[in-house]
Amino acid sequence: MILKNYKRLLVVALIFATFCIGFTQSGCGIYRFKDVSIPDSVRLVKINQIQNKASYVNPRLAPALTDKLRQKIVSQTRIGQTNGDNADWIIDCTITSYSFSTSGISNQQVNTNRLNVGVHIEVKDNHTQKIIGKYDVSTPFDYSGSMSLQQAEQALESQMLRDIPDAIFNRIFSNW
């Protein structure tokens, strides 16, 4: 009887150990994030000013996004940033959409609105002058239906300046 309990305990311990090893190596197997992958040949990147070609233009968004994207790339990779012609990669981004929609209705009234910001990204190898990647990201931001557009833009500004550069960075460097 005691031997059976020890065997059960040993089996439970092995299962637990296997789970813990798997947990630390693969994030529980539920979410698996790829590491940032940058070719060794890329040491400098030039991030051009983000252009805003959406039908509705928030004039403060493009310059602020450019600064945040530059900061993110420099702080989270080994790549340096340059404004000169010596860059290995050139990154061009364009805000292609800045649209509003109703995302929730309750009791015949707008309860939630959504601001959706779309960005087109092109990464060019400066040495070969070839585009090595074209990507599109779209980031939604929900806000109260009782807010005006201007109020929503002010309230969402810090979230937009965090989430959009993250989406661009992840699409370029993490392939997700």
Query: What pLDDT is recorded for position 20?
Result: 44
With a cut of 50, say whether residue 139 has pLDDT above it.
yes
With a cut of 50, say whether residue 123 has pLDDT above it.
yes
Beta strands per DSSP E along the chain: 44-47, 51-52, 80-81, 89-106, 109-125, 130-144
With a cut of 90, say whether residue 2 has pLDDT above it.
no
State pLDDT tens for residues 40-51: 888 999 999 999
Question: Do the Cβ atoms of 69 and 50 come closer than 8 Å?
Answer: yes
The residues facing 100 across adjacent strands are: 115
Strands 109-125 and 89-106: antiparallel
With a cut of 80, say whether residue 134 has pLDDT above it.
yes
Question: What is the pLDDT averaged over residues 7-31?
Answer: 42
- CATH dotted code for 36-174: 3.30.160.150
- Residue boundaries of the structural domains of the chain: 1-32, 36-174
Spatial neighbors of 157 by CB under 8 A, at least 6 apart, are 60, 64
With residue 24 as reference, give the H or E element that holds it.
helix 2-26
Average pLDDT, the chain: 82
With a cut of 80, say whether residue 29 has pLDDT above it.
no
Query: What pLDDT is recorded for position 26?
Result: 35
Helix (H, G, I), strand (E, B) or coil at 58: coil
Helix (H, G, I), strand (E, B) or coil at 99: strand
